[in-house]
């Protein structure tokens, strides 16, 4: 199931790449990292600001795409990487 969810996310990315202007796609969608679990798909943003922006502006569309490709069976959740996880070199 995890492989299927990750493939589903890639299909969603492809749709969003076609739908959004390049700058929006590269700023908000491209940085997201997908993780699949038994609970559904979790999208990890690089920081809280990106997480909140994506949830506010794209949650509905991302959920529609995920549900379309999974027959409405999977949930989508959002989180962000903690500062200590992204800044190992300090």
Residue given tokens 């299927």 in the structure block: 4
**Euclidean distance between CA atoms 6 and 11, whole angstroms:** 9
Q: What is the pLDDT of residues 21-80, one digit of tens each?
A: 999 999 999 999 999 888 888 999 999 999 999 999 999 999 999 988 887 767 788 888
**Euclidean distance between CA atoms 10 and 8, whole angstroms:** 5
Per-residue pLDDT band at 81 (split at 50, 70, 90)? confident
Element of type H or E holding 51:
helix 48-69
**Euclidean distance between CA atoms 28 and 1, whole angstroms:** 26
Q: pTM for the full model?
A: 0.80
**Euclidean distance between CA atoms 73 and 85, whole angstroms:** 31
- Is residue 83 predicted with pLDDT exceeding 70? no
Residue given tokens 């069976």 in the structure block: 73
Q: What is the pLDDT of residues 5-25, one digit of tens each?
A: 889 999 999 999 999 999 999
């Amino acid at each position: 199931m995890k492989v299927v969810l990750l493939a589903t996310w890639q299909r969603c990315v492809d749709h969003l790449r076609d739908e959004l202007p390049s700058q929006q796609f590269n700023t908000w969608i491209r940085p997201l990292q997908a993780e699949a679990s038994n609970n559904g798909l979790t999208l990890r943003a690089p920081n809280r600001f990106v997480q909140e922006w994506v949830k506010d502006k794209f949650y509905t569309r991302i959920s529609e795409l995920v549900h379309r490709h999974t027959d409405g069976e999977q949930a989508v959740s959002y989180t962000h990487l903690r500062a200590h996880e992204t800044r190992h070199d300090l």
